[in-house]
Amino acid sequence: MNTCQRVIIIGWDGAGTFVRDAHTPNLDRLFATGAHTLEAQTASPTISAECWGSLLHGVNPVKHGLNNNKAGAELFPDDSPYPSIFRVAREAFPHAQLAAYSAWKPINDGIIEPSIDVHKISIPDGELVHAIATYIEENPDFKLLYVQLDLPDAAGHQHGYNTPGQLRAIEETDRHMGVIIEALVEADLLKDSLIIAVTDHGGGGEDAFNHGSDHPLDKTIFWGCAGPGIVPGTQLAHVDIADTAAVVAHALGLEAPASWEAKLPVGLFHS
């Protein structure tokens, strides 16, 4: 029996696997109480719109067709054969509360479909997490919440990836994730929520201050989740960023679209 009532995706932009070199107690706790890998693979090219697009739409960038310029200038078509997990959830739950809080505005404008009644907010990370905490308090019956925190990627571009400057931003992002988790605790929602923590890409592979290549530093990402049906301490293998969509669908009891490439990671759910 599925005891998951809601899913929260917390995305850390540009963090790669550099979290292993930072002090991230909230992420570490999620890893310890759930399943994770530091060897997941993201989409190619390793650029934000392509990667977040794959996470949300369950297919590779050739199929979903997104890039940063397109996401920043065009609305994602409502009739795409590759629906986002938000569209799948809306069709199954016509009256459910769905929300996307993204510091990088093109996700809300150009990656999530415009006409499916998703509550969308785009403000800087520090303000964003407090707005999320308020949303959780006021809407405890929400079904799906997606979060994108931008500081790790901004710091990577500024200071270089996996440098002290970026690691400080990663640690700040962990504190921001802690605000969201605390809000779930305060609302007594943690026990029947699936929390997914993931990054979209790394950086520093071919350019110390950039990403986009298939170098392992750009391509390899962390992926973890905790909640109902997840055995604590599970080590995962062969996880692709697009698989996130299948995990969300399974947790919410939804049928994944046949057009998706997303698959459930082997050994993830045990009940």
- 266 found inside a domain: no
Give the model confidence (pLDDT) of 54-68 as tens digits.
999 999 999 999 999
Q: Which amino acid is at 76?
A: F
CATH classification at residue 45: 3.40.720.10
Contact 7, 251 (CB under 8 A): yes
- 1 found inside a domain: no
- 262 found inside a domain: no
Give the model confidence (pLDDT) of 169-223 as tens digits.
999 999 999 999 999 999 999 999 999 999 999 999 999 999 999 999 999 999 9
- 41 found inside a domain: yes
Q: Which amino acid is at 246?
A: A
Q: What is the pLDDT of residue 104?
A: 98
The domain total for the chain is 1
- 259 found inside a domain: no
In the numeric block, which tokens belong to residue 112? 């999530």
What's the rounded Cα separation, in Å, for the pair 250 and 244? 10
Residue 219: φ, ψ to 5°: -90, -25
Give the model confidence (pLDDT) of 107-135 as tens digits.
999 999 999 999 999 999 999 999 999 99
Q: Which amino acid is at 215?
A: H
**Structural domain boundaries enclosing 140:** 6-251
Total-model pTM: 0.98
What's the rounded Cα separation, in Å, for the pair 104 and 149? 8
- 261 found inside a domain: no
Give the confidence band of 271 by pLDDT, cuts at 50, 70, 90.
low
At what angle are helices 151-159 and 164-186 packed, to 10 degrees? 170
